[in-house]
Amino acid sequence: MPSETLTIRDNRTGKELELPILKGTEGPSVVDVTKFYKEFGLFTLDPGFYSTASCISEITFIDGEKGILLYRGYPIEQLAEQSNFLEVSYLLLFGKLPNQAEHEQFERLVTQHTMVHEQLKDFYRGFRRDAHPMAIMVGVIGALSAFYHDSLDIFDARSREISAYRLIAKMPTIAAFSYKYAVGQPFVYPDNERGFVENFLYMMFAVPCAKYKVSPVLVKAMDQILTLHADHEQNASTATVRLAGSSLANPFAAISAGIGALWGPAHGGANEAVLNMLGQIRTPDRIGEYIKRAKDPQDPFRLMGFGHRVYKNYDPRAKVLRKAAHDVLQELGHVDDPRFKVALELERIAREDDYFVQKKLYPNVDFYSGLILSAIGFPTNMFTVIFALARSVGWFSQWMEMISDKGQAIGRPRQLYRGAMTRDYVPLYQRD
């Protein structure tokens, strides 16, 4: 019998059940309700998963009260400052920081997969030029499984690893192509002499008729953005990837489902919505009107980039990004960007306002990221694509952990049914 248990008593029958309490290495313990329906004939109900742990994981830990985020035990602040996205990708996938040889081999393998099948380019022509790039990403990433049959054996560790390299390496290329297609410029192929992040900026902003150089400050800020967005426990899109993957669908199909979930403005689409909101507010003197709307329960307006299901303290990623936003804007001479001034003032006012203090609404990862991306030159509709590019590493790591779990079963939630009781069919001529 496990050391700690929770006794549940059904007062209708007097029946009692001892449920095992499972402890983690950090954070809240869980009560294992696997046997609950079998013993009590009752389901547990938790539509927004406010109190539900969907899996056991070793990848990412969040403490919402303390504003802590660890990737495989390493604090996000240290990784953002001292590591880089490719090394963090290795850490999330394999559970340890790579040594010199492992780092070089991982970088070499990812670099060898940056090109996409030449026919994949034809997919873009099927989209309107003004298609939202996230619509393109959902389609093209899902379609990768049409090209890489040799690495779709999800039960073969080698195949899983090759698919991981392919996805990590090709996401920047596919993302940059979606931008080039939208602006009517020729696709820029990856230049494998450049580092991973610099290569992405090169594919995004280089044109055939000019040399492309990028400031190391922008590369570092971009690398930090990717690192900070790489994984985040069981958020909506990661939970989607796990559920889609639990049916044994291939990882590209599961990750395409995750891209769809990330697109929503309540989730990864918030960074685009923040920039649009800052543009709407325009000047600090109009902030009060928007704060009032955000507090009005009758008004659906939310302060985008604020609040979080888990963080009831400052999102540690937002802290890093606020500094990075200042550095990038200073480097580019945009530190007077009115949207940055509005953002700083909006944060100051909101954090002094009782409504936001009582509801523990702090800036989240999306509040400052858009300012950096906009300063680097990305259009707002590319912001969530960049979030997806970064999060593809977390999605793949979580998928790999799920598919390697021997006890894994297909995710199949139940429901509380409140529909019609059984009734007989009424032929058309007898209906009112």
- Residues near ligand SDX (CB under 6 A): 48, 232, 235, 266-268, 270, 294, 302-310, 359, 361, 364-366
H helix or E strand, kind and range, residue 181: helix 157-183
Report the C-alpha gap between 198 and 218 in whole angstroms: 9
Nearest distance, CB of residue 222 and ligand SDX, angstroms:
17
Side by side, which strands form the sheet with 60-63?
Answer: 60-63, 68-71, 74-75
Decide whether 169 or 365 has the Cβ nearer to ligand SDX: 365
Q: Is 366 a catalytic residue?
A: yes
On whether the CB atoms of residues 158 and 400 are closer than 8 A, the answer is no
Which residue is catalytic, options 132, 308, 315, 353?
A: 308
Annotated catalytic residue 334: no
If you count them, how many residues does the chain have?
432
Considering beta carbons, is residue 340 or 362 the nearer one to ligand SDX? 362
Are 302 and 350 in contact, with CB atoms under 8 Å apart? no
Write down the least CB distance from residue 198 to ligand SDX, Å.
24
Contact at 8 Å (CB) between 111 and 172? Answer: no
Residue 274's closest CA among 350, 226, 343? 343
Minimum distance from residue 420 beta carbon to ligand SDX (Å): 30
Q: Which is nearer to ligand SDX, 87 or 315 (CB)?
A: 315
Q: Which of 223, 315, 353, 366 is catalytic?
A: 366
Which is nearer to ligand SDX, 225 or 361 (by Cβ)? 361
If the CB atoms of residues 140 and 225 are measured against ligand SDX, the closer one turns out to be 225
Residue nearest to ligand SDX (CB): 307
Q: How far apart are CA 368 and CA 87, in angstroms?
A: 24
CB of 158 to ligand SDX, least distance (A): 30
| C-alpha Rg value of the chain to the nearest Å | 24
Residue that is written with structure tokens 């054996």 in the block? 153
Closest approach of ligand SDX to the CB of residue 354, in Å? 13
Q: What whole-number distance in Å separates Cα of residue 426 and Cα of residue 424?
A: 6
Active site (catalytic) residues:
308, 366
